[in-house]
Amino acid sequence: MNKAFTRESDSQDDDDDEVGLPAVPAGARNYMTPQGYARLRAEFMTLLDDERPKIVEIVSWAAKNGDRSENGDYLYGKKRLREIDRRLRFLTKRLDIAEVADPSAHFGSDQIFFGATVTYANARGEERTITIKGIDESNSLAGEVSWVSPIARVLLKAREGDELQLLTPGGVEQIEVVEVRYPAPKAAGAA
């Protein structure tokens, strides 16, 4: 069938279908650290102010070159514009419901809240250290977990020395909170 007679979906229902990012629980705020918020905001502004205008200019130039059906610059540009617009809609939604929580507010506390770096040990004595971060900023390869992850939900509100039960695919596992740390507050006037 000729591409001119096919219609691409204009549905915006799949905006949250970003690869690898879980949905924010219904009715919940999108908790994130100040650094995570700044990173998402910077990505939004780069896409909006830099990348999108460049692609629009390329598509406009390519459209003036005649036959669009075999014009690679035009076809790729239109595809890239759709990707950018989808990402901008996604970032807008996530930033609108963002709740910036500064973990340094709990500096010195032994209770686990958002932003804590927690070391825990299992029954075999194996220790693991994780940092509880926002859904959009956690990186499991760096030892960061989302606040909605099963381990974070078990650890939240616990204190150093508490023994907890973590439900794993292999069954219930006993874990003990060994250490809780928070970043030190920035000095007033520090950038």
- pLDDT digit string, tens, across residues 28-39: 778 999 999 999
Domain boundaries, the chain: 29-100, 103-181
Q: Is the distance from CB of 16 to CB of 90 less than 8 angstroms?
A: yes
pLDDT category at 190 given cuts 50, 70, 90 is: low
- Report long-range pairs for 157-165 (Cβ below 8 Å, ≥24 apart): 157/111, 157/112, 157/113, 158/111, 158/112, 159/110, 159/111, 159/112, 160/110
Q: For residues 6 and 56, which has the higher predicted lDDT (pLDDT)?
A: 56
Q: How many CB atoms sit inside 10 A of residue 68's CB?
A: 15
The residue type of 150 is P
Mean pLDDT of 129-146: 93
> Is residue 54 predicted with pLDDT exceeding 80?
yes
For 2-115, list the strands marked E by DSSP: 30-32, 98-100
Distance of CA 113 to the CA centre of its chain: 18
Which token pair is 70?
């075999």
State the pTM of this model: 0.75
The yes or no reply on domain 29-100 and CATH 1.10.287.180 is yes
Q: How many CB atoms sit inside 10 A of residue 9's CB?
A: 7
pLDDT category at 12 given cuts 50, 70, 90 is: very low
The class of domain 103-181 in CATH terms is alpha beta
For the chain, list the strands marked E by DSSP: 30-32, 98-100, 117-122, 127-133, 144-146, 163-168, 171-181
> Is residue 21 predicted with pLDDT exceeding 70?
no
Which token pair is 42?
């910077």
> Is residue 65 predicted with pLDDT exceeding 50?
yes
Mean pLDDT of 35-56: 95
pLDDT category at 7 given cuts 50, 70, 90 is: very low
**pLDDT tens-digit profile of 72-111?**
888 899 999 999 999 999 999 999 989 999 999 999 889 9
